[in-house]
Every structure is written in structure tokens, then in C-alpha cells.
Chains A and B, each alone.
Chain A
């Protein structure tokens, strides 16, 4: 695999219609067709019921996958606030993947809620219930995707002279684009706090909002590393290992903070015994932590984190651990110890997968035509931005 210092974002170009695009488009088409059907048929075809009232569209597409869509938050904060200027070159990839993860998640949410036509209350502040974590998520996530994340993505798609007109807003918009996801990513954790004893005590804690946010940061780094490596392999671009290693270093330290805080929380709440109980919950608990902690310890080594294979496996394992953690309170550790479980129906799963397929298909289309992915280019190929 070639390596080089990335210096500019360059379109992939090439034919628009390719086998992978067709594959992901078919997944998306199936999901869209089922979504239209769902509008007329209600939600009875899903695996959800009154005991397990939230299913994968909410718990996976939104509450779990927006962690992968938090690259714009994690890498953006690192670039701007922690002054890692060299990361500017990967920001467009982070912003594009973020808006697609969030956008398709919110799309899924539109079909999950039973009475979506009443969602207009989100723009009527006098109808807001400020005690509700879900209100916070609704308002904040909508505003983030529709205004701030969209604005951040404009430089990649708008002609420069158009964007220059709204450029003076940039610092204020970006500051909001850090605050809002920090708010709603933590509120996603608050959602399950009010479920109280329905969530297994290893997961139920007042720290859920903090943990969900930490995991958004961790997964934000992890997903960008994975996406960049996969994209470079797919389109035969050189890898900029030092940039990826920088991302991995931040990911490793945030992972360690998360795991330490999580064990500390369990000890302080006096629930450590449950972590060693002979059941699947303790296995799940340690599994989530080890998938995040082991890669972090490996990637602390300067030498190891400059090996692309280690970077990829480390980031992928971290993302898996993080995603399972975000999935557990709503599903795996929800209504624990019962004989019944929630399992999504086939149609429900096809829609869940299809929305992800939609995000991937759009990503492929966008990076082919717009300057999103980083590359090493010599002068004649450069697109001034």
C-alpha cells in the first residue's frame, strides 16, 4: 500500500454507476419501498410491541449509528479547539459521513414514530416539554442536521464565491456545530435514564449521558479512520499514516477515559459484583469495555499505530465495542432477566440495513463528484478551495 502526505481533497471521479453503488442502491430501494408500505400499514409488522416499544430504527439507526456520525464533532473539536491544523485535510470526509449518518438516521426516525405529522411542534417552543430528554434530542438533532452540519458541508459543494458571502458566520456556526451534538449525543443517554430499573444496573446510571457522549467521541474517531482506510483501498489512493495515527492517538486516549470512567462508575455505585455474576450481562459488560480498551492500549504505541493494518483493526474493534455499548441500554440490557426478547422482523431489519445502504450509496456518489476525500496531488490537479 502506497503512503504519502495528503494535501488536498480531490474528487474520485470515474463512472458513477458501479457494482457497489448498484448493490447499496438496491438495499436503499427496498427500504424506501417498505417505508412507503409502512405508512399505510402501521407498525404491526415490526418486532416491536408494548413491552419492547422501541426497535432498531430508533435504537440502532439513531441512538447507535449517530455515534459513528460524530466524526464532525470529534475530529472538528480536535482540529479547531485543540489546534490540530494538520487534520483540516480530513475534515470534509468527516463532515460528509456525519451528515449522511445523521440524515439517514433521522429519515428512519420519521418512519418509526407513529404520528409524524405532529412533529411540527418542534418549531413551536411554547409546546416544548423542557424536562424531556427526547425533546432535547428532537430539537437539537433537527437543528444540527438542517442548519449547522449542512452549513459546514457547503464549502465542498458550493462554488467558492458563493460560500464567501456566508463565510463570516463560520466561527459562530462551527461553535454551534460543536455544542449541539455534544448536547444531543448526551441526551441520547438521558433517554434511558428515565427507564429506571428496566435497564440492567450495570448500564443504568446517572452517568449515561456522559458515557454516550464519550462514546460518540471515541466512535467519531474510529469511524473516520475506518472510512478513510476503506476509501483509500477502494479507490487506490495513498494512505497518510501520520494523520491516521494522530486520529488513533486521540481515539486511544478518549477510549481509556471512557473505560476508566465506566469501571469507576460501577465501583462507586457498588455494582461491581454484577460485573462478575455468572450471566451474559457481565460478559457483555466486559466485552464492550475490552473491545474499546485493548485497541486503545495497542495504539498507545507510537510504532504500532503507524502500521495501517493495526490502525484499521484497532479502529474497527473500537467502533464495534462502542456501537454495542450504545445499543445495550436500549435493547440488550433492557428488560433484563425476562424470558421474552425483542427481535426485529425481517422487514424491519431490511429497512434498518437499507437506510445504512442509502447513506453508503450517497457517500459513493458525493465523493466521486465533489472534493471530499483527501489525496496527495501535484499542482496541475489541484482544485483551489
Chain B
């Protein structure tokens, strides 16, 4: 038996239908907003003196072993965020040396976090005050949070038998004691301050208004970028230079859920497809069975 033209067109039709279903408009993906009591940080590169007191304080407050590898075991000297470092001060300097800036990196506490969208069992999820929390009992260690995070924040304990995901949780264990995050508490110059997202944005805009031309594009990074973040930045150098990606205002979660969200919304599409397949299969099964029986009779089996 050869393949008829009609069958081929049907095959192609199915493939194209799949493609159409897969490219339905973004209507179903929801746009998430920050909770009213969202807490965060404001970091201002023009104020930071690069003393790294926040790095040491963070390590102590979070019971982490200081990363002393680069200094031969003498003092804390992390080169990047890692399984022992939830907060780091890095230095950007342009090749000609004319432009430089410190940069504080830690979890941005996204308004619509990609990690929480990617995490299969919601081990990473927005908790109280909009803080992105990690729940060990739900984490399978798949590391898709690391793949999805636009800021490369979550880190994994590669060498451990029982590895954890390590990332800043805004010192949420200190907040009930009336304490602020360790980094803002120790900062001697107020380069990083703690508060509600609304207050921090107001303060950032006040600084911009008071100092025209001082800040890059007179803009607060994180107000809208990637769906908004609860940690926001003011910088005198382009944001992209200090590792803040300039990739628009749509959150990764929103981008990622566009297709997935439509296809799996209420399981409607899978259910309809299953019903169609089951209906066809029931008919085909009977016909093919009868044929097989007939075929066996002809063969005197």
C-alpha cells in the first residue's frame, strides 16, 4: 500500500495546526505587579566607595563560609556570586580607564521572577513582601532557575551531596526581629538603602530630579526593566556596563508563558486533542482488528 496524496496533506495539515496552536497570541499570559508591601533595595553607584563591608556582613548574617580561595585562604575574596557568596561588590572600568563604577550584585527580587516561573514545584516562589524565597523541601536541584534568571543570580552547591540553591532572600530571617538586611545595615555611606519598593522609587526619582544629568538616562533601573524588580539601581555609567541587561520591559516569565500558558490554560487544548485522538483510535482499532483477523483467516492461522 502506498501513501496517498490525501494522507500526506493531512499529515502536513496536522503539523501546521500544531504550529498555529503554538503561536497563538499572548493573550493568556498574565502581567504581574508588585505587592503593595514589596520590600527592596536601592543601590546608587555614585555613592558606593567599594569597601565591601556589605559582602562580609552578608556572609556573616547568612551563616556562609567566606570564600577565601583567591587569597590563598587569608581573607574573603570572591570573584563572582557563588555558593558561598549571596552578595558581591564588583568593579567596572572602561578599557581606557576613563570610566569606572562599583556594582553591587545580589538577587533582584523580580516582580515577575523567571526562576519562579521555571521552577517545577515552586521551590522558588514569591513570598511575604514579594521576596523570592527558596523552599528546600520542594527543590529537586534541576537548576532551571540558573538557566532562566536574566541576572545570573541563583547558585548551586556543585560539590555537595545535598546541594542547596544559594541566593539572596533579602535577609528575610532578620526582618521579623525588626532588623534590616545586613548589607544596608552596615553600609557606611548609604550607597545601598532598604525600604518598600514604592519608597525606594520615590527616593530614586528625588535624587534624579535634584541632580540633573548625573544619572545615566535619568532612569531608575528596575522600575520597569524585565517586568520590574524590587531591587532598583541608579548609575552614572550605562547599566549594560555594570551587568544590568538592557533587554526591554517584558519579564522573562511573561515571555516564557506566552505559548505555554495558552496551550495549557485549564488543560482545554490537551483535553480536546485527547478526545479527538481517542475517538479516531476507537474507530481505527476496530477496523484494523477486523482486518488482522481476516488476514489471519486467509493464512489459515
B11 contacts A43, CB within 8 Å?
no
Residues of chain B contacted by A193 (CB below 8 angstroms): 255-256, 259-260
- Are the CB atoms of B257 and A131 closer together than 8 Å? yes
* CB of A214 closer than 8 Å to a CB of B: yes
- B160: Cβ under 8 A from any A Cβ: yes
B5-42 CB contacts (< 8 Å) to partner A = 7-8, 10-12, 15-16, 18-19, 22-23
* Contact mask for chain B residues 42-84; partner A; CB cutoff 8 A; 1 contact, 0 none: 0000000000000000000000000000000000000011100
Judged by a CB distance under 8 angstroms, whether A127 is at the interface is yes
The answer to whether B163 touches A114 (Cβ under 8 A) is yes
Bound-state Cα–Cα, A121 to B15, Å: 33
Closest B residue by C-beta to A121: B121
Do residues B117 and A132 form an inter-chain contact, with CB atoms below 8 A? yes
Quick check: is A354 within 8 A (CB to CB) of the other chain?
no
Shortest C-beta distance, B56 to chain A (Å), equals 21
- By beta carbon, the residue of chain B nearest A49 is B158
Q: Give the segment of A25-33, A98-106, A169-177, A284-292 that binds chain B.
A: A169-177
A301 close to chain B: CB less than 8 A: no
Alpha-carbon separation in the docked complex, A207 to B270 (Å): 18
The answer to whether the Cβ of B137 comes within 8 Å of any Cβ in the partner chain is: yes
The answer to whether B261 and A131 have CB atoms under 8 Å apart is yes
Select the stretch in A245-253, A271-279, A367-375 that faces chain B. Answer: A245-253
Contact status B117-A115, CB under 8 Å: no
Which residue of the partner chain, among A78, A133, A179, A186, contacts B22 with CB atoms under 8 Å? A186
Residue A346 interfacial (CB < 8 Å):
no
Interface of A is mostly: helix
A40, A83, A207 — most chain B CB neighbours (10 Å): A83
State A197–B80 Cα separation when bound (angstroms). Answer: 21
A81 CB contacts on chain B under 8 angstroms: 277, 280-281, 284
Q: Closest residue to A119 on the B side, CB-wise?
A: B140
Q: Taking CB as reference atom, which chain A residue is nearest B1?
A: A86
Pick the most buried of B81, B144, B256, B260: most chain A CB atoms within 10 A of its CB. Answer: B260
Chain B positions within 8 Å of A194 at CB level: 114, 117-118, 144, 147-148, 252-253, 255-256
Within A166-206, the residues touching B (CB, 8 Å) are 170-172, 174-176, 178-179, 182-183, 186-187, 190-198, 206
Known: A114-B163, A253-B8, A257-B16. A132 touches B2 (CB 8 A): no
Bound Cα distance from A200 to B7, whole angstroms: 36
Q: Cβ of A343 < 8 Å from any Cβ of B?
A: no
Is residue B157 within 8 Å, beta carbon to beta carbon, of the partner chain?
yes
One of A12-20, A134-142, A309-317, A356-364 contacting the partner? A134-142
Q: B278 and A379: CB pair below 8 A?
A: no
Contact between A53 and B146 (Cβ–Cβ < 8 Å)? Answer: yes
A194 to B301 Cα, complex, angstroms = 56
Given contacts A118-B137, A118-B139, contact A42 B253 (CB under 8 A): no
Q: Say which size band chain B's interface belongs to.
A: 35 or more
Complex contact A48–B256 (CB within 8 A): no
The CA of A126 and the CA of B173, in the complex, are separated in Å by 26
Cβ A51 vs Cβ B291 within 8 A = no
Known: A85-B288, A179-B270. A53 touches B282 (CB 8 A): no
Chain A 113-132 interface 0/1 with B at a Cβ cutoff of 8 Å (1 = within) = 11110110100000111111
Return A317 CB to nearest CB of chain B, in Å.
21
A326 CB–B CB distance under 8 Å: no
Contact: B158 with A42, CB < 8 Å?
A: yes
A261 touching B19, Cβ below 8 Å:
yes
CA distance A55 to B282 in the complex (A): 42
* Most A C-beta atoms less than 10 A away, residue of B1, B8, B137: B1
Say if the beta carbon of B245 comes within 8 Å of chain A: yes
In chain A, what residue has the closest Cβ to B30? A131
Cα distance A127–B140 when bound, in Å?
13
Q: Which chain B residues border A39 with CB–CB below 8 Å?
A: 161
Give residues of chain B (190-239) contacting chain A, Cβ–Cβ below 8 Å: none
Q: What's the nearest-Cβ distance from chain B to residue A23, in Å?
A: 32
The answer for the CA separation of A233 and B65 in the assembled complex, in Å, is 60
B264 at interface (Cβ–Cβ under 8 A)?
yes
Chain A contacts of B156 at CB under 8 A? 43, 50, 53, 114
Interface: A217 (CB within 8 A) = yes
Residue in B closest to A171 when the chains form the complex, CB atoms: B281
Contacts of A115 in B (CB 8 A): 136, 139-141, 162-163
Q: Which residues of A contact B258 (CB under 8 A)?
A: 206
Which residues of chain A come closer than 8 Å to B155, judged between CB atoms? 50
Q: B179 contacts which chain A residues (CB < 8 A)?
A: none
Whether B2 contacts A246 by the Cβ 8 Å rule is: yes
Using Cβ atoms and an 8 Å threshold, which residues of chain A touch B280? 80-81, 175
The answer on a CB contact under 8 Å between B259 and A50 is no
In the complex, whether B98 has a CB less than 8 A from a CB of chain A is no
Chain A residues closer than 8 Å to B82, beta-carbon distance: 50
Which of B16, B142, B264 gathers most chain A CB within 10 Å? B142
Chain B contacts for A198, CB-based, 8 A: 147, 150
B121 interface neighbour in A50, A53, A84, A129, Cβ under 8 Å = A129
Q: Which residue of A lies closest to B286 (CB)?
A: A171
Closest 10 CB pairs of A and B: A114-B141, A194-B256, A53-B146, A115-B141, A44-B159, A135-B120, A175-B277, A171-B281, A210-B22, A175-B278
B interface residues (Cβ-Cβ under 8 A, vs A): 1-3, 7-8, 10-12, 15-16, 18-19, 22-23, 80-82, 114, 116-123, 125, 136-144, 146-148, 150, 152, 154-163, 245, 247, 252-253, 255-261, 263-264, 270, 273-274, 277-278, 280-282, 284-285, 288, 291-292, 296, 299-301
* Given A114-B139, A194-B256, A246-B2, 13 further pairs, Cβ under 8 A: A50-B152, A50-B156, A82-B11, A115-B139, A128-B121, A130-B264, A175-B281, A191-B144, A194-B118, A196-B252, A206-B258, A214-B15, A257-B12
Q: List 23 A-B contacts (CB under 8 A).
A: A40-B161, A49-B158, A50-B156, A53-B144, A81-B277, A114-B160, A115-B136, A115-B162, A129-B122, A138-B120, A171-B281, A174-B285, A182-B273, A191-B118, A193-B259, A194-B118, A194-B147, A194-B253, A196-B252, A197-B150, A250-B3, A253-B11, A254-B15
